[in-house]
Amino acid sequence: MAAVSLKSRVNAALPETVRERRASPPPRPRDHPLSPGDRLLTAPAFVLSSVRSGSTLLRVLLNTHSQIHAPHELHLRNIWVKTRHHNTEWALHEMDLDPNQLTYLLWDRILQRQLERSGKRILVNKTPSDVFIADRIRECWPDARFVFLLRHPLAIVRSREKIGSEDLDDNVRRVLRYCSAVQAARERFPGLTVRYEDLASDPAAETQRLCEFLGVAWEPGMLDYGAGEHGQYRRGIGDFSEKLKSGQVQQPAPPAGEVPEPLRGIAAAWGYPLAT
């Protein structure tokens, strides 16, 4: 016989009226419309990419613009609200909220606070794990904009090897997981696609495309990101390599070798050669 918890036995022994009071409220409809004032942030942009795809370079180039704030990685995926009592759930229900919607209010406030403190008017958020919550980002901000940052999958593998990642098979599995999520988001949502190789080879042209997408005039000073203040370069909130810390955009060398079999499909879909 399956074990029954003490809490379950106590609840079962309670009068029906008490059990009803302790019951959780019904779930809210997923398509519940936003109320006025629910979102302080207007049309935020999100960079969706794999790890080691040059997203920190893209961030600092954008953050150098006088009207764009691109903060360090914020890891929204790991920030959520959890209720601890059924009375709290009912209180939220009466306000037409649930823990999920309360999480969205928190996300919005965090990003809006960052933007307000920067004194700028457009926020671009970049955290590679955002690619796993693209649906939730669009649910939180229906006006959210997406920038899809691609990089040769073999180059991602090589870059992770340089920072001492796990063995090759585990490395390839992780890269495939991120790249597959990027591709799924590209197929589901509109947005602007940028290749890291193009960004590093011709940053002027690519940042002009990005500025047009974000609705701001291009500024040549964006290319001199080393002159700006972008916070710490450290593990966990972005790239921390000496190459990035140099303050100068450097053209990458093509990765040597053949694309591992699990990554060949995504490499072909993105138009990258299978061997270099």
How far, in Å, CA of 252 to CA of 105, rounded? 40
List beta partners, residue 48.
Answer: 148
For residue 82, what pLDDT is reported? 86
CATH number at residue 216: 3.40.50.300
Residue pLDDT, tens place only, 160-180: 888 776 688 999 999 999 999
Instruction: Give pLDDT, residue 89.
Output: 80
Tell me, yes or no, whether 11 lies in a domain.
no
| The pLDDT of residue 1 | 43
Domain carrying residue 188: 34-269
Q: Does 41 or 167 have the greater pLDDT score? A: 41
Per-residue confidence (pLDDT) for residue 237, from 0 to 100: 56
Sign of CA dihedral 160, 162, 164, 170: positive
Distant-in-sequence, close-in-space partners of 80: CB < 8 Å, separation ≥ 6: 99, 103
51-55, 124-128, 191-195, 226-230: the lowest-pLDDT one: 226-230
pLDDT at position 165 is: 64
Query: Quick check: is 140 in a domain?
Result: yes
Ranked by mean pLDDT, which of 9-18, 60-69, 246-255 comes out on top? 60-69
Does residue 263 belong to any structural domain of this protein?
yes
Q: Is residue 243 domain-resident? A: yes
Domain membership flag for residue 223: yes
Look up the pTM and report it: 0.85
Is 48 contained in some domain? Answer: yes
Q: What's the structural domain count of the chain?
A: 1
For 148-163, write each residue's pLDDT tens digit: 999 999 999 999 888 7
The answer to whether residue 28 sits within a structural domain is no
